[in-house]
Amino acid sequence: MEKTMAPCLLLSLSLLVCLLSSNSSAELQRFHHSPKSDGSLSLIVVGDWGRKGEFNQSQIAAQMGETGENLDIDFVISAGDNFYEDGLTGVDDKAFAESFTNVYTAKSLQKQWYSVLGNHDYRGDVLAQLSPVLQEIDPRWLCLRSFILNTEIADFFFVDTSPFVLKYWNEPKGDQYDWREVAPRDQYIDNLLQDLDWALKDSRAPWKFVIGHHTIRSVSEHGDTEELVEMLLPILKENGVDLYINGHDHCLEHISSRNSSIQYLTSGGGSKAWRGAYTPNQDSLQFFYDGQGFMSMQLTSAMVEIEFYDVFGHVLHQLNLQKEVRSYFKMIGRG
């Protein structure tokens, strides 16, 4: 336990420094996570999960634990909507333990979690989720608005997507969003996009992955997020991003761009799912599962292997990418 939790404890001080220096400029903080001695990394991605174990969250967590052990994962990525329905009420909210600490109990999941905020998180006390106090409660937890994770073989760019969505500002429909340290919206987004563009251009990693809560491309209930298509996607294409990874739609998806190398991956099946919605978009759908599950990634400097799993741990879809051969797809079982 001490060995696996060491990276978590080392990040506590870094997180405190980040928060003390944070402001509406959305400056991107950097963290480092070394690959294994053989130069590889493995991880799990899950989104839209925080329901106190209900809606099969606990069953999915158990399968994540088994997969994490089989792959000897290095860390976990959360794609947002970490606590339903309205985020946390404060750093002492019992929902943190009930939806996170007490659910993801498998030994293999006692690694660092790198998390972004979702729109449901913005309906609560956002500063609580970002607070170092939560790391004192559970050292695995690391959540910032936007930040960069350098791993030598890949750079992971975490982007705060909720402020982009205009309806959250203009038509909240009775919901209250915590825009402290974000408003004014236009300045926040402009600074974030400038910082992201610079960081992507500065990256020398073989792989560039961008993680945000909201979809860019999706055939499920929420569909494409037009603000991200308009403002974020051009930057990703210009800078040769390999993967855009998100939650928000409660399903599993793989969509290929028709005019760039980007693969759009949705892993939003961490708990409540089965929306029953399907609307095609202009890009190429490779896989869609309107149900619960999660995603794993194994990578080296030359290859990336991605697998999508259902609540029973069955592999539903594989995606293999190489720098020389960029697209090889294999469907397994349902899809």
The answer to whether the CB of 246 falls within 8 A of the CB of 211 is yes
Instruction: Supply angle C-alpha 282, 248, 90, rounded to 5.
Output: 160
pLDDT tens string 206-240: 999 999 999 999 999 999 999 999 999 999 999 99
pLDDT at 7: 55
Q: Per the annotation, does 120 bind a ligand?
A: no
Write the CB contacts of 126 (distance below 8 Å, at least 6 apart in sequence). 87, 117, 178, 180, 181
Q: Per the annotation, does 84 bind a ligand?
A: yes
314 included as an active-site residue:
no
Mean pLDDT for all residues in the chain: 92
pLDDT at 4: 52
Q: Per the annotation, does 104 bind a ligand?
A: no
The answer to whether the CB of 215 falls within 8 A of the CB of 181 is no
Q: Per the annotation, does 48 bind a ligand?
A: yes
Q: Per the annotation, does 119 bind a ligand?
A: yes
Q: Which one from 33, 120, 222, 254 is the annotated catalytic residue?
A: 222
Instruction: Decide: helix, strand or coil at residue 43.
Output: strand
pLDDT at 19: 45
pLDDT at 17: 44
Hey, what domains does the chain have and what are their CATH numbers?
A: 2-331 (3.60.21.10)
pLDDT at 11: 54
Beta bridge mates, 256 = 263, 284
pTM of the model: 0.90
Cα separation, 324 vs 90, in Å, equals 48
Cα separation, 286 vs 105, in Å, equals 33
Nearest to 188 by CA among 25, 324, 2, 68: 25
Residue pointed to by tokens 């750079």: 155
pLDDT at 325: 37
Instruction: Decide: helix, strand or coil at residue 227.
Output: helix
Residue ranges for the chain with pLDDT beneath 50: 2-3, 13-26, 325-329, 333-335
Cα separation, 223 vs 237, in Å, equals 20
Instruction: Decide: helix, strand or coil at residue 256.
Output: strand
